[in-house]
Structure formats: C-alpha cells, structure tokens
Chains A and B, each alone.
Chain A
C-alpha cells in the first residue's frame, strides 16, 4: 500500500511529466531555425535586404555582405566627395585664370587659345600666341587702347584749343597792328608837316636876318649923318 505522501509524489510526478512532455513536444514542433537552414541557401545567394530568417548563420551572412557593400560604398563615397571638391577647385582655378586673361585683355595683350589635347577645354596655363590686328600687329588690351584713345582725343582738343587761342591772339594783334599802322601814318604826316614848317621858319628867319642886317646898316648910316651934323 502506498502512503499518502507517495501518492502525492506520484501525482506531482505525473503532472511534471505531462508538462515536460508538452513543452518538449512544443519545442520540437515550433522549433525556430536558429541553427537549421535550408540546404539550398548559401552565403552567395543570401539576400541581405530580406527579413526572411532568424538563422544565426544567415543573419551573419547578411551582416557580412552588407559590411562588404558598405566598404565599397564608402570608397565610392570618398572618391565622389573628393571628385566633387576637385571639380569645384578646378572650376574655381579655371575661373581665376579666365579672370586673369580677361584682365590681360583689358590692360595687356590678347592671346590665342590653346586647347587641351582631345578636349574642347582651353588649357588655361598655356601662354598662347599674340592675336594680330588688321595692321598685323598684336592687338593691345582694350583699356590700354581706350586710355590712349582718350589721351589722343584730349591732346587733339588741347591742340584745337591752342590753335583757337593763337588765332584769337593773332586777331587781337592784327587789330592792334591796324591801330598802330594808323598811328604811324599820322606820325609820319606830323613829321612831314613839322619838317615843312621848319623849312618855312628857316626861310623866314633868313628874311628877318637879312632885314636886320639892312636896318643895322641904315642905323649906322643915320647915326653917322647925325654925328657929322652934330660935329659941325
């Protein structure tokens, strides 16, 4: 005969056995594929973007494949980033060179373009040949020509002004000369008249001197007669 304790233990044992059997059956039939995977799945055909497994090895493969892809992507990222920066720096460098060439085109001289081999782009570092004008001479920078043109126009205006001033002075001198010539003519007339007057006065003086001598003789004669008469 079993004791009540033994009965209870048997009953407990039975319950535990049924529970463990149920758990074991559940684990067996609902077994997650942590370790098991289909035979046809390999790392090569593993899709890293599909959430289709809890298999540790396949998850590892997905991570490894993504990590490999990331390495390539990072290389591409770095290369593209550097390419963008290089392209921008090259563009700025070319823009700077173009600005220098435009400056030369204003204040220096024009040069022909030299193109990079097998490219439509100008070699901004090549010096180029001088561009010749219609006179077969190098075409000078626009601003230099403009400055010379402005100076030439100023000089021309200056020459015109000088000519005008000299012509005005010439006119004033001509007027002065007319007045002076008239004065000279008058002076000449006056001188002629004075000379004529001088001749006239000389003649008159001669007459008067002659008359004076005659009168002195007459006086001497009268005085002599008076003296003779008074003497007797």
Chain B
C-alpha cells in the first residue's frame, strides 16, 4: 500500500468513527425527545385505561403521535419520572408505578377498604365515607366524605348526608356497600371516553382537598380528562346548590302553609274555648246553686228529723204518763171494789145484828 492509500484509509477510519459517534449521540437525543414527547402525550391523555404492563425495563405503552410515528413502549424510568406525585398521605403510592388507570382505581379501592377496616367506630367510618357534622362554637358545619363528593346529583348527595347524620353501624355498612358498588361500576367496560371520564370523576372525588392527590390524579387520567371531570363536577355542585337554594322557597312555602293553618285552627279553637268557658261558668254557677239547694234540703231534713225525734220522745213520755195514770185508775178501781166488799160484809153483819135485836124484843 502506498502512502496515499494509507492516508485515505486513516481518513476513512476517522470519518467512520466520527459518524458512529454522531449516530450514537443522535440516538440518545432522539430517545430523550421521544421520552419528552411521551410524557407530554401522557400528560394530555393520561395512562392507558387498561392492559399496559411492565416488562423488564420498559412499559408496553402504545402512543399514537401526531406525526404518525407511534411510540411503542417507554422506559419504566420515564413513567416513574412522569408519575412523580406520590398522591398525599391517605392515598399515596409506593413501589412500582401504576401503568393503567384501572390499576390506580383498584389500588385506591384497596386502600379505602383497608382504611375503613382499620377504623374502630361507625362514626369514623361514616366521617371518611359519607362525611361528618360538627358544631364548633355553636355553628353547624359539615365536612364532606367520599360519597358526598362522588354524588352526581342532589338525591345521591342527600342520601349520603342522611347516612352521615346518624353515625351507626348500619349506616356505616350501607355507606361501604354504596362505595363498593360505585367502585365496581367505575371499572365496568365501556367506550374509552366514558370509562376515562368515570375513572377521573372517581379518583378526583376521593380527596378533592388534597393538592398532592389531585396532582397525581391529573397525571393518571390526563389533564384534559381531569379538567373535564372537575368542570363537570363543578357544574354538578352548582346545580345541587341551586336546587337546594330553590328548596328554601319550597320549605318556606310548606312552613308558611302549616303555620297559617295552625294560626287559623288556633283562632277557631280560641273562639270555641271562649264559648266553652262561658258554658263552663254557667255550669259552675248551676252546680253551686244545686249545691246550695241540696244543703238547704239537708238542713230541712235535719230539722224534720229533729222534730220527729222530739215528737217521738214526747209520745214516749206521754205514753208512760198514760200508763202510770191508767195503773193508778186500776188501783182506785181495785180499792173501790175491796171497799164495796167490806161494806157489803159490814152491812150483812149489821143486818144480822139488827135481826137478832128485833127477835130479842
């Protein structure tokens, strides 16, 4: 090989090394760009609803991009970087990142069930699931629970609040049943947009007041669906508030009707009472008169009894006097009889004496 050949070979080898370096550099940049595009698409659309799994170092997520070049699979690290939102204290995630929205739903449902299972009292369970009432400083407040936030209409919300009003074991069981049914409905198959909307509504409603959790939900369901979900629920809340406000007037109309009926009845009864009081007073006067007449009659009877008793005594006294007199008469009669007998005897003796004297002459 002459000098030119050797020189060209060296130049050629150097060019090949440079090109190889350039190609590797380009590949790395392209992967970075692909990862960035994938994260933006995930941010806009969210995780797949179902089906994506981790295999090795990558997640088999398929993303159709606008330029027609699909992204098939992203590194696990990209997903971990994307889901850099643990989700708050209550529903925070640890370990491998979830790869689908259904996986996230199932994960939080398990956490809800575990949290409810760990609570000791029905009051705690209902406060978590349905909400809780309190009266700090004499002012009644309500802290909504999951079911109240999940309610799609005023009736469902009222039902949840009614459960919260009576924190007992029965209501806690009912609340958990309702939650389980809603959670099962969320993962029911359906049109992709419908299912995404259901999942977004379910996840956002679990803990709307926790910014950490809401950030995670936005990343899981995607910003568009998240925005749509909270906007729709905002309208639901507005509708509920408006319905409740309209019920002020219904409640008031019912109250006024009852109040006026009571007023009318009370006035009528007051008139009846007035008349009845007059009748009562008349009857009272009459019974007092009857009482006076009765007392007079009793007094009269007492006098008659006294008269009768006096008469009876007088009769008895008179009767005794008559008996004594009658006895005295009988004694006189008997004495007269005895005297008559004695006189007759004396006269007989006298006649006998006179006859003897006459014979003697």
- A183 lies within 8 A of chain B by Cβ: yes
Contact bitstring B215-253, A, C-beta under 8 A = 1, else 0: 000100001101100110111011011001101110110
User: Contact: B287 with A159, CB < 8 Å?
Assistant: yes
Inter-chain contact total with CB atoms closer than 8 Å:
295
Contact bitstring A16-54, B, C-beta under 8 A = 1, else 0: 100010000000000011100000000000001101111
Given A54-B65, A176-B301, A77 contacting B272 (CB threshold 8 A): no
Given A133-B267, A152-B280, A218-B343, A187 contacting B69 (CB threshold 8 A): no
Q: Roughly how many angstroms separate A78 CA and B233 CA in the complex, as a whole number?
A: 10
Given A98-B251, A110-B262, A81 contacting B350 (CB threshold 8 A): no
Chain B interface mostly helix, strand, loop or mixed?
Answer: helix
Q: Roughly how many angstroms separate A173 CA and B186 CA in the complex, as a whole number?
A: 93
User: Contact: B140 with A89, CB < 8 Å?
Assistant: yes
User: Contact: B346 with A223, CB < 8 Å?
Assistant: yes
- B102 lies within 8 A of chain A by Cβ: no
Name B236's closest neighbour in chain A (CB-CB): A80
B residues lining the A interface (CB < 8 Å): 1, 5, 9, 12, 16, 19, 33, 36-37, 40-41, 43-44, 65-67, 69, 140-142, 144, 149, 157, 161, 208-209, 214, 218, 223-224, 226-227, 230-231, 233-235, 237-238, 240-241, 244-245, 247-249, 251-252, 255-256, 258-259, 262-263, 265-267, 269-274, 276-277, 279-280, 283-284, 286-287, 290-291, 293-294, 297-298, 300-301, 304-305, 307-308, 311-312, 314-315, 318-319, 321-322, 325-326, 328-329, 332-333, 335-336, 339-340, 342-343, 346-347, 349-350, 353-354, 357
A residues lining the B interface (CB < 8 Å): 2-3, 6, 9, 13, 16, 20, 32-34, 48-49, 51-54, 56, 59-60, 62-63, 66-67, 69-70, 73-74, 76-78, 80-81, 83-95, 98, 101-102, 105-106, 110, 113, 120-122, 131, 133-135, 139-142, 145-146, 148-149, 152-153, 155-156, 159-160, 162-163, 166-167, 169-170, 173-174, 176-177, 180-181, 183-184, 187-188, 190-191, 194-195, 197-198, 201-202, 204-205, 208-209, 211-212, 215-216, 218-219, 222-223, 225-226, 229-230
